[in-house]
Amino acid sequence: MDKGKNNTEDTETRILHAAEKEFFEKGYAGARTASIAEEAGATHAMLHYYFRTKDKLFERIVADKINMLGDIILSAIGDGDLPLEERIRQGVERHFDFISVNRDLPKFIVNEVLTRPEHVEIMKQTALHIVNNLLGSLQHEIDEYAAKGLCRHIDARMLLIDIVSLNVFPFMAAPIVKGAILGSAYDNYEEFLAMRKKENVETILNKLKIC
């Protein structure tokens, strides 16, 4: 029984990894389930058995990534045992690290939003409960800190947009950054990313001006 379960999980995981690669490289329109099955070492019938359709597979990939990102950010910013400054710092850093591991994800999402607007609703519904849970508690705490003179009073929604914008840009604009900005100022792109991560944290904390 356990062996059968492991085989089932292995096959499903292989299909998901292959689908992620196919979607990120070719977009939804260019992705082919036959190619995904071949990459996963599975038959097309097996792919159909686990995920039924290309749409269902796409939705699973998007949901997994958004939920993973939500867990990462919530685990940092939602940790009530840490001071707000440290939680914001960890939230920015963990979000940056997540994008660094999933470098094709921002471009994939933007392309899908531009070329297939119907996918926006799928992404929005998946992310909505995560964003609402995060913003409600974060705004309340920022308000309390501001009332005590410990930070500026800012909109938590704008803060979240700032974090996402700052962290995503170095990866979305990688070709430009590598060619026009790096030059001889940095040894390599990874060094630049490490510096941007630090700068992004400082920029967000300066916006809050936490004392």
Can you tell me the distance from the alpha carbon of 187 to that of 169, in angstroms, rounded to the nearest whole number?
A: 20
- How confident is the model at residue 5, as a pLDDT? 42
Helix axes 84-101 and 118-147, enclosed angle (nearest 10): 160
Find, among 54, 83, 100, 95, the residue nearest to 142 by Cα: 83
Can you tell me the distance from the alpha carbon of 105 to that of 48, in angstroms, rounded to the nearest whole number?
A: 24
- How confident is the model at residue 181, as a pLDDT? 59
- How confident is the model at residue 112, as a pLDDT? 87
- How confident is the model at residue 2, as a pLDDT? 44
- How confident is the model at residue 1, as a pLDDT? 39
Those residues with Cβ within 8 angstroms of residue 89's Cβ, 6 or more apart along the chain or in another chain: 201, 205
Ranges under pLDDT 50 in the chain:
1-6
pTM score of the predicted model? 0.85
